[in-house]
Amino acid sequence: MKNYTKYRPGYFPVGPEYMDWTNRDHIEKAPRWCSVDLRDGNQALIVPMSLEEKVEFFQYLVKLGFKEIEVGFPAASETEYQLLRKLIEDDLIPDDVTVQVLTQSRRHIIRKTFDSLIGAKKAVVHLYNSVSVAQREQVFHKDKEAIKKIAVDGAEMIKKYASKYDGTEFSFEYSPESFTGTEMDYAAEVCNAVIDVWEPTPENKVIINLPGTVEMSMPHVYASQIEYMCKHLHNRENLIISLHPHNDRGTAVADTELGLLAGGDRVEGTLFGNGERTGNVDVVTVAMNMYTHGVDPELDFTNMPEVVETYEKFTDLKVHPRQPYGGQLVFAAFSGSHQDAIAKGMKYRLNNDPARWTVPYLPIDPNDVGREYEADVIRINSQSGKGGIAYILEQNFGYNIPPAMREEIGYMVKDISDKSHKELSPLEVYKAFAKEYVNRFDPIDITDAVFERASDYKANDGMIASIKVRMYDKVYELEALGNGRLDAVSNALKKSPYTFNYNFITYSEHALSGDSHSKAASYICIEDPEGKTFWGVGTHEDIILASVNALVSALNRMNRKDHFLE
């Protein structure tokens, strides 16, 4: 990488007096949003959208809550010109939505731009020209005065044409393109020249858009540049400072957030950051970041799967699985420690403070964006832990696995994933669990059990169990006394021709759901003479029979000839 020596910073930092924004620690309200998906986003596609697709996408952007939408460069593209005409003539622009169009500072382009807007109720006419050192020297071969004149001439033409088109409420926007590569005093000089032509008022404010056409600096530099402009622009109270960061350095979101702290009022961006080169700022991420701080973003991302599906449909691009908020895996936890913390956090929130969200590892509640805990949060593979696997079984199938049993199940499930080299679905996890532990009736199966209280035993606390049991294809009828039903069944089994040598370690039970007709689940752990433990799980509509099934399951898992001797 020796070629690093040919690179030098191409931006123009400002002094520490333009860092008041550092005293603010979060964004307090949503900015004005302007979607440029139909302009910058469409321009970046290998196959641009058709007219029909643009109309449908426009309507979806409106559904999401965008009140300003840049629909294109009507003088440069027939499709974009026709889009304006269709939106206007078919009355597809809601009264509270403003369309925005882009134009260069050239008379015939400006004229056609205004022609495309005939009949629109409201419109933003967006003028731009490049002002950076590189553009002045290498592309236009013009000095500062000549470049400023391009901006002023365009501003004057736009003001003149707007006065001739009745029936439309026009707003004006100016972008010093390549702002981040421009001397700040000169950028302010050009913008002020345009502002002086347009003469903004409280009723008709002017938008000054400060684009990071190419990201050149760390985000704090861009923020200080925004603050510099806010303090040096004429008529600031009647301006709307707009941010338009690109993502060349991968910090467009940070540029935008710090730029808003520094005085920005408005953001131009695209869904998931689609745009030329490395893209525009991702509006979804910026908006959802505000949401995590308790700020209403004023855009509707409550159905994020639909947003992703729609975006992919129109752009033919894929949202990365780790894309913040929208990616398929952004809420997924495979790590065992993460899964355990999430599961415990969910339970803590439910029992302590359900009105607040503080769950470890999850900055937002997946349900808020249309995602499901069961499908999206705890994902099971060979890296998973006992807590996550227990969470899957509880959330999806109602089994509240005893803590002492979780490690054993965890190792079993992880081993299956490791050997199959794949993620396991919740259903696959359940099937493995059920096959190994639940209602195992071979080679031992109690097919009938009748209980009777033993009135002369321990002050009426005893129970007599009469059972019919199949063992190794032979059926036995056995009866025994115990201090409870389960103890009585265990004592009856020990009267069979086989030797059962075990001790009870633990027992627990619960209903599988809140339904009064639901099954019960019982968990039993027994220990053999060598100290090895065996778990069994039983289910049945009757909680007593569920416990019997759990004992039988544990015995069948312990099934070894040296335990069962005839």
Q: For residue 244, which of 286, 188, 202 has the smallest C-alpha distance? A: 286
Domain limits, CATH 3.20.20.70, in the chain: 2-315
On the CB side of 183, CA atoms within 13 Å amount to: 7
The tokens 């195992």 sit on which residue? 440
User: Is the confidence at residue 459, as pLDDT, over 80?
Assistant: no
Tell me: pLDDT of 154 over 60: yes
| 41 contact partners, CB below 8 Å, separation of at least 6 | 270, 271, 274, 275, 280, 315
With the CA atoms of 141, 14, 210 and 62 taken in that order, what torsion angle do they form, in degrees rounded to the nearest 10? 160
CA distance 97 to 69: 8
pLDDT of 377 over the 80 cut? no
| CB-CB neighbours of 202 under 10 Å | 7
Tokens of 95: 């009264």
Q: Fold for 444-557, please state it.
A: Double Stranded RNA Binding Domain (3.30.160)
Burial profile 19-41: b = 16 or more Cβ within 10 angstroms, e = fewer = eebeeeeebeebbbbbbbbbbbb
333 strand-pairing partners? 378
Question: Residue 442 in contact with residue 556, Cβ under 8 Å?
Answer: yes
* pLDDT at position 12 over 50: yes
Helix (H, G, I), strand (E, B) or coil at 47: coil
**Residue 443: is the preceding peptide bond cis (ω within 30°)?**
yes
Q: Which strands make up the sheet holding 520-527, listed edge to edge?
A: 503-511, 520-527, 533-540
pTM to 2 decimals? Answer: 0.82
Query: What is the C-alpha separation between 188 and 130, in angstroms, rounded?
Result: 13
pLDDT reading at 3 higher than 80: yes
| pLDDT for residue 561 | 44
Can you tell me the distance from the alpha carbon of 87 to that of 64, in angstroms, rounded to the nearest whole number?
A: 18
Determine the residue type at 499: T
Give the contacts of 292 (CB within 8 A, at least 6 positions apart).
363, 364
The pLDDT score that the predictor gives to residue 454 is: 81
Quickly tell me which residue has 């627990």 as its tokens: 508
Question: What architecture (CATH level 2) is domain 2-315?
Answer: Alpha-Beta Barrel (3.20)
Residue 59 has pLDDT above 50, yes or no: yes
pLDDT (average), residues 230-238: 98
Q: How confident is the model at residue 218 (pLDDT cuts 50, 70, 90)?
A: very high
Banded model confidence at residue 560, pLDDT cuts 50, 70, 90: low
pLDDT reading at 387 higher than 90:
no
Rounded to an integer, the average pLDDT of 537-563 is: 87
Q: What is the SS3 assignment for 516? A: coil
Q: Identify the H or E element spanning 128.
A: strand 122-130
Q: How confident is the model at residue 376 (pLDDT cuts 50, 70, 90)?
A: low
Bridge-partner residues for 122, per DSSP?
Answer: 169
Region(s) of the chain under CATH 3.30.160.270: 444-557
CA 322 to CA 285: how far, in whole Å? Answer: 12
The Cα 61–Cα 95 span in angstroms is 15
Residue 73 has pLDDT above 50, yes or no: yes
**What span, in angstroms and rounded, lies between the C-alpha atoms of 390 and 434?**
13
Query: Would you say 512 and 541 are in contact if contact means Cβ atoms under 8 Å apart?
Result: no
pLDDT per residue as tens digits for the range 167-192: 899 999 999 999 999 999 999 999 99
Mean predicted lDDT score pLDDT of the chain: 93
pLDDT at residue number 391: 85
CB 257 within 8 A of CB 22: no
Q: Say what the pLDDT of residue 356 is.
A: 94
